[in-house]
Amino acid sequence: MPLLSLSVFLPLLGGLLLMALPGKSARTAHGISIATTGLTFLVTLAIWTRGTLPGGFAQIEEIAWIPAIGAAYRLGIDGLSLPLILMTSLLFFLSSIYAARITDRPAVFVVLMLMLETASIGTFAALDALLFYVFFEVSLVGMYFMIVGWGYEERQRAGLMFFIYTLLGSLPLLLAIIGLYLATGSFDMRLWIDTPPLTGLTAMLALIAMLFTFAVKIPAFPVHTWLPAAHVQAPTVGSVILAGVMLKFGTYGLIRFALQMTPEAFVQAGQVVLAFGVFSAIYGAFAALAQSDLKKMIAYTSVNHMGYVVMAVAVAALTIDADLRAVALNGATLQMVSHGIVTGALFFLVGMLQSRAHSRKMAGFGGLLGQVPWLGWAFILSAFASLGLPGLAHFPAEFQIFLATLNAQPWAIVAIVAIVITAGLYLRAIAAVFLGESNGKWADMPDLDRSEKLAIVPLLVLIVLIGVAPSWLLGMMDTTMRALQF
């Protein structure tokens, strides 16, 4: 059974089914949404049990699409994409549970969300560059309408900025794809990975185009400015998907396209990429420190965490020691998954707080821990994970990244400063919101209800599980990363 295609198109089918139904009530809309995303999650689990192959792609599904130009529908997975697909389907499942409280045009919202899931899983599973680009761009459209339709006060401006900024960002990738296509006459990504077709100046130009695209998506300094605006204005589910899933398009592309398809140029540009990564990590931490808006703060910590991923990929390119390279890339991939889960949880929690208080300003809160212990402890656990506390999800990832960095490019270890800053800003946020004098204003704030707990608890469990025993995830990645040719 073509499980990969099933996981990609099941959400879309669910959306079409919902559109075809007459008289859509909120109940049916959310029922279909939860059922579809749940089923998709099960399908991805089945894909996991089928496993990957070392040194290549597994579970390949291929159908001719535009044979005249060598474009085909090609799907497949390896140790890089499989963990991301699993994380994606889980986050969408939990999002659909949380989204069940949306009453404003619920059917449209659900259709958009399901469309986004198809686009996201498709992006990670595509092995045809044109197909990859299709999914990559469709996600923009879905996210734009989600921000504009269900966002907060300044959603029009934020949505417009997000759409135009990221479209400008992704078009250079199209140029690079066309360049690679003209050199080979095919859009098959496996071909481009096995024998990188470009050399010299053209390879460098293609790399620059790809780096620009993925830097916007990641987002890395200095093209990160769309992120805080989009995140703050997006609805909670939108933020979770944007941070948890869509930022990974950038880091995934960084490895899959930039590193694997133009390896020589990437090695030449390695120091520059590394410097951008280091700067992004430090800049993101300081920018987060300066925020008084809780959601904006978390958005900036994404810049910081994704900066580590960029660093790790650059370190992997710059080192020739195979073990060290695997450590760096394992760290990078694990960091993507951890960030999806931890930041997903944090955005859920901030959204839950905002829906109760209608405010995100840290200064307006205080002493909430006694009032809403579930919300409070969940936030504290996620925040500790985000600052890299040992035993929680980010630690094994960041540990490997810094280990590889220290061995290969010792100067870049300055990025470790960012960890201290992040610790400081999270502790400050926890103190301001959950500890201290209780503010009488919030005396009747209710704690998490059942569906909110359902959405958040699996993420908390995973945060601890990845932190304590990451080997089940690392094993999945390691075979691929060791065999990665570049």
Partner 1 sequence: MARDLSLLIPEMLLAMTVVLMLVSEMLRAPRLALGIGVIGLGLATALTLPLLETDTSVFGGTYRIDLLSAWAKLILLPGTALALMMARAEIAGKDREGSVYALLCLVTLGALMLSGGGDMMMLVLGVVLTGLGSFALVAWPRDDPATEAAMKYLVFGSVTGSVMIYGLSFWFGGTGSTLFSELGLLEGSTLIALAGLIAVLIGLGYKAALVPFQFWAPDAYDGAPVSVAAYLSVITKVAAIFAFAQILRDLPVGTGWPMVVALIAAVTMTFGYLAALVQSNVVRLLAYSSVAQAGYFMMGIVDLGPGSLALPSVIVFGAAYVAMNLGAFAVIMVAGRSLGDFRGFGRARPVIGVAMVVFLLSLTGIPPLFGFVGKVLLFGAAIKAGYLWLAVIGILNSVLALAVYLRIVVPMYQPREAGQDSAALAPPLMIVLGATALVTLFMGLFAGVFPG
Query: Contact positions toward partner 1, by CB under 8 A?
Result: 64-69, 130, 133-134, 137-138, 140-141, 148-149, 156, 160, 163-164, 167-168, 171-172, 174-175, 178-179, 181-182
Q: Nearer Cβ to partner 1, position 148 or 463?
A: 148
With a CB cutoff of 8 Å and minimum separation 6, the contacts of 245 are: 87, 88, 91, 92, 120, 340
d(CA 192, CA 197): 6
Q: Nearer Cβ to partner 1, position 70 or 367?
A: 70
| CB-based contact 105:229 (threshold 8 Å) | no
| CB-based contact 250:211 (threshold 8 Å) | no
Please tell me the number of Cα atoms within 13 Å of 13 on its side-chain side. Answer: 11
Q: Nearer Cβ to partner 1, position 79 or 179?
A: 179
Q: Nearer Cβ to partner 1, position 108 or 334?
A: 108
d(CA 445, CA 438): 12
d(CA 313, CA 486): 12
Q: What's the closest the beta carbon of residue 37 comes to partner 1, in angstroms?
A: 22
Q: What's the closest the beta carbon of residue 162 comes to partner 1, in angstroms?
A: 11
Q: What's the closest the beta carbon of residue 138 comes to partner 1, in angstroms?
A: 6
Please tell me the number of Cα atoms within 13 Å of 97 on its side-chain side. Answer: 18
Which sign does the torsion angle of CA 309, 242, 303, 264 carry? positive
Q: Nearer Cβ to partner 1, position 68 or 320?
A: 68
Q: Nearer Cβ to partner 1, position 66 or 290?
A: 66
Q: What's the closest the beta carbon of residue 198 comes to partner 1, in angstroms?
A: 13
Q: What's the closest the beta carbon of residue 164 comes to partner 1, in angstroms?
A: 6
Q: What's the closest the beta carbon of residue 140 comes to partner 1, in angstroms?
A: 8
Q: What's the closest the beta carbon of residue 68 comes to partner 1, in angstroms?
A: 2
CB neighbours of residue 121 within 10 Å? 30
Q: Nearer Cβ to partner 1, position 177 or 342?
A: 177
